[in-house]
Amino acid sequence: MEDKFEKKSPLFSILFVCLGNICRSPAAEGIMKYQLELNGLADKVFVDSAGIGSWHVGDLPDARMRIHGSRRGYDFTSRARQIRRTDFDRFNLIIVMDSDNYEDVCSLARNEDDRAKVHMMTEYLNRYKGRHSVPDPYYGGDAGFELVLDLLEDGCANLVRLLQKSHIV
């Protein structure tokens, strides 16, 4: 599979991670790219997504997530991949969706510098402060997918503001 990261040498890079890379993390990737484009920052930040497991490598995001995303104007078309230790070298921020993802990604870290790059998506929530995770909608219904999109829109918009405010981009 082609290495997406090699296409650009951005000033800043963000990797979103969930369990299988077919629901939450590809949605976060697509929403973040959209937010960056809206703010004229698309050429300053590289965004990608990955999963803890390898079950869906090469697959498109879950059809239900693509449908719900398209209703909001998003096009979720990235292909699933599994996180690698080398991602710690390639990304400035690694943002995970829940505490299990956090533990799994941190277990791949080689040192404290790697671990310091790992953050929970909920850290960036503004309207939905107090949530402890972005729940996995895979086994649920439409409401779960809509909630995930609400949370990711909030978190990504706030993350862009924080990057701008801190002059990172």
The catalytic residues are: 18, 24, 136
Question: Phi, psi at residue 151, to the nearest 5°?
Answer: -65, -45
Give the span between the Cα atoms of 29 and 149, in whole angstroms: 11
CA distances to 59, 145, 156 from 125, in Å: 28, 17, 8
* One-letter amino acid for residue 16 of the chain: F
Give the strand order in the sheet containing 45-51: 45-51, 12-18, 93-96, 118-120
Residue 100 CB coordination number (10 Å): 14
Taking a C-beta distance cutoff of 8 angstroms, is the pair 43, 37 a contact? no
